[in-house]
């Protein structure tokens, strides 16, 4: 066979021995066609990855395929490598293209999510634009299937119930959130916004000096990272999310404030 599969890939395709069904599996997972093509070339020609490093923006069709570079013993199909290649491919796409491909995939495999995406294409595109472009674009997505867990909190129907670190009591979390609401101004730039978060941190007796905290964690009840996480969890339901300032800009003032107030009410 041209490609040999590793154990992980065999398990994933154990019930899909028919080649057409195997391809359907990868389509359902949400691997972009461009990513699959790119990955296949890495296992077909041994010199492809060197060529790609030298030509990061070149069209795949510009690569000169050579039968002489085929591995006579066959190539190992590496699912993890495919995922990594796909993550890089999606990171290179602009937001409109990601929106187009994601919404097409969702129409077939997740109609409810597709309805959310297409109800306001501009809103969805703004979400997908977070961290794109520049020399180091974010690489949050490897497949379209990962998009809803990544960005679902932007839609109220998918917002998860906030769960806070048990190290902090409810009163502490509520105090931080109330202080943030008192100072929150949607027109602030990111620097001013974060200065306010730092001011809240110090007002609560937490620290913005991460080196001092690492040197003696018992000297402070928490850090600016903890305060930021209180706000992040209240707004997104997640401890990890894209840039929180940008998230709030996209959600807007009213929805951001409503989520924080709802969290405070649930904790009281």
CA distance 29 to 8: 15
Q: What pLDDT is attached to residue 59? A: 85
pLDDT at 38 over 90: no
pLDDT band at 27 (very low <50, low <70, confident <90, very high): confident
Give the CA dihedral 260, 140, 129, 162, nearest 10 degrees: -10
Dump pLDDT digits (tens) for 41-95.
887 777 788 888 888 888 887 888 776 666 665 556 678 888 998 999 999 999 9
Spatial distance between the Cα atoms of 103 and 26, rounded to a whole number of angstroms: 17
pTM metric for this prediction: 0.80
Greater confidence (57 vs 97) lies with: 97
Residue ranges of alpha helices (H) inside the chain are 7-12, 19-29, 33-44, 48-54, 79-92, 95-109, 111-119, 121-128, 147-151, 170-183, 190-203, 210-215, 224-236, 244-251, 253-267
**Whole-angstrom Cα distance, residue 51 to residue 48?**
5
């Amino acid at each position: 066979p041209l490609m040999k599969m590793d154990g992980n890939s065999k398990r994933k395709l154990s019930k899909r021995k028919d080649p057409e069904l195997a391809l359907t599996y990868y389509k359902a997972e949400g691997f972009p066609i461009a990513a699959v093509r790119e990955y296949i070339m890495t296992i077909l020609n041994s010199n492809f990855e060197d060529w790609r490093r030298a030509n990061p923006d070149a069209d795949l069709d510009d690569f000169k395929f050579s039968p002489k570079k085929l591995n006579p013993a066959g190539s190992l199909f590496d699912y993890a490598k495919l995922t990594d290649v796909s993550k890089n491919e999606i990171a290179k796409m602009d937001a409109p293209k990601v929106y187009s491909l994601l919404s097409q995939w969702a129409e077939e495999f997740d109609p409810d999510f597709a309805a959310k995406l297409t109800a306001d294409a501009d809103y969805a595109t703004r979400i997908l634009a977070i961290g794109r472009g520049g020399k180091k674009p974010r690489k949050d997505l490897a497949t379209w299937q990962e998009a809803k867990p990544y960005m679902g909190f932007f839609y109220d129907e998918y917002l998860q119930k906030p769960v806070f670190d048990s190290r902090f009591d409810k009163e502490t979390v509520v105090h931080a959130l109330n202080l943030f609401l008192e100072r929150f101004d949607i027109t602030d730039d990111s620097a001013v916004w974060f200065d306010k978060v730092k001011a809240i941190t110090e007002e609560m007796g937490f620290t913005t000096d991460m080196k001092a905290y690492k040197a003696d964690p018992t000297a402070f009840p928490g850090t600016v990272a903890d305060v930021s996480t209180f706000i992040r969890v209240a707004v997104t339901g997640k401890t990890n999310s894209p840039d929180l300032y940008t998230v709030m800009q996209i959600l807007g003032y009213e929805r951001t404030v409503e989520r924080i107030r709802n969290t405070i009410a649930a904790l009281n």
